[in-house]
Amino acid sequence: MSSCYRRLPAAAGCSKNLPAPSTSRRHAAETLWLPHRQTDRWPRIALRRPNRSKSWLSVATAAPGEGPCGDGDGRIGKERTRAAGPCRYAVGDSEGSGSGGVDRAVGVGSWWRLGVGRREAEVAAAAAATVVLGVGNRVLYKLALVPLKHYPFFLAQLATVGYIVVYFSILYLRYHAGIVTDEMLSMPKAPFVAVGILEALAAATGMAAGAILSGASIPILSQTFLVWQILLSIIFLGRRYKANQLFGCFLVAAGVIITVASGSSPGHSLKEAGIFWSLLMVASFLFQAADTILKEIIFLDAARNLKGGSVDLFVVNSYGSAFQASFICLLLPFLSKLWGVPFSQLPNYLRDGTACFLNIGQISSGCAGAPLLPLLFVVVNMGYNISLLHLLKISSALVSSLASTFSVPISVYVFTLPLPYLGVASSLPPGFVAGAIILVSGLLVYTWTPSTTPPGP
């Protein structure tokens, strides 16, 4: 009998429920055999399907002294006493009939490509969902401000409170369903505090600069977000980018600038506002980029340290939103002033905003569309944030930001459609088509990678 195997690294450990080796001789095609440790090779585990002319053969090998497949003494499952380590797997096709057959390792490349293809499909589906929800988030925010045009600060606080209530409710349900574990909830809270601080600072600086800047200057400055993400991921994650990825990011940023800024005078707007407010907006995007990189670090650390292999994204969302709300409360005097609401009048402002949101009272005449439009915005905004964090978890912070950026030109086009409550539809910017083509080209350049082959034996 001749056989050859190609070993592939596996991220997950072996099953702990494999049966113990039997001392009695059984049919070769019906046996799950677990040979004990030998001095000249690693332990092997073979799985065969009984009474078939073709059966799958899976062989798991572990280096001596490593687990979870082997721990140096041939024991598995609960008998292990040493720390788990990585396994190596080989998948082959066992051909035979009756009492034996010939083992032939085939299809390894297919299995490798299947795993890569599934991951790429998952990332692509998550990115598409993020783009769709990102467009809905931008459009519904504009619609929600129709009834609450005098209460934008109330809408922001409504969304913040909604985050906490909904996220912790989902976290509670997932905890009792066994999806969220005590180990996840006992993670150090310092990173979540940092997330809250960064999000609060991003909101404060963004509001301050946004009150002064106007026109297409904000979308142009927002492209520094990609630059910050690349720099921070290189510094804190040790990530290295290929030339096509960097060039793709440049094309994406250029496409957004051309799409949004064509037909306007962003340079004049920036010159009028002054360099300080432009730098403050750039600092806001720095805080946002640092927030996404920190969340990626949280997921990576959890994948290494938690038994479950990862942390549920609602743990990150819930605690991050709670600490963000706490720091926002500390900044309320400053933030309310930015929205043109003196802090002493904030209670009356929130009371009137609530009445307009519920569409009741004497001021409800100018609140047509409430509460439906604001509620739709809050719901879609939550879905967008969850989708964005899920994409970050399964890919990277840069990929999630590229998906979010792609929603900008689509939103510009949607606003040219006859939407309810918005009145006359806007016209497409002169450079919309050219900018969109450049943006899509940038995404294609970023995602292009040369063909790869499975690792050799």
Query: Quick one: pLDDT band at residue 412, thresholds 50, 70, 90?
Result: confident
d(CA 155, CA 22): 67
pLDDT exceeds 90 at position 377:
yes
pTM of this prediction? 0.71
- Taking only the tens place, the pLDDT of each residue in 118-146 is 888 999 999 999 999 999 999 999 899 99
Segment 51-58 mean pLDDT:
42
pLDDT of residue 386: 96
d(CA 452, CA 45): 29
Query: Quick one: pLDDT band at residue 267, thresholds 50, 70, 90?
Result: low
Average pLDDT over the chain, rounded to an integer: 77
Segment 291-305 mean pLDDT:
93
449 vs 376 pLDDT, higher one: 376
pLDDT exceeds 50 at position 87:
no
79-83, 195-199, 273-277: the lowest-pLDDT one = 79-83
22-26, 191-195, 258-262, 319-323: the lowest-pLDDT one = 22-26
- Taking only the tens place, the pLDDT of each residue in 316-348 is 999 999 999 999 999 888 888 887 888 899 999
- Buried-state track 216-243, b at ≥16 Cβ within 10 A, e below 16: bbbbbbbbbbbbbbbebbeeeeebeeee
190 CB-contact burial (10 Å; exposed 0-12 / middle 13-18 / buried 19+): exposed
Domains of the chain by residue range: 8-106, 130-447
Which value, in Å, is the radius of gyration of the alpha carbons in the chain? 28
- Taking only the tens place, the pLDDT of each residue in 421-436 is 887 777 888 888 898 8
Query: Quick one: pLDDT band at residue 261, thresholds 50, 70, 90?
Result: confident
Q: Which residues contact 173 (CB under 8 A, 6 or more apart)?
A: none
Return the structure tokens found at 49.
């399907």
Q: In this prediction, what percent of the chain has a pLDDT beyond 90?
A: 42
Q: In this prediction, what percent of the chain has a pLDDT beyond 70?
A: 69
What are 89's strand-pairing partners? 8, 60
Could you count the other beta carbons within 10 Å of the beta carbon of residue 206? 21
Q: Name the H helices within 262-396.
A: 266-273, 275-305, 313-330, 332-338, 346-358, 372-394
pLDDT of residue 114: 62
What are 91's strand-pairing partners? 58
pLDDT of residue 263: 62
pLDDT exceeds 90 at position 30:
no
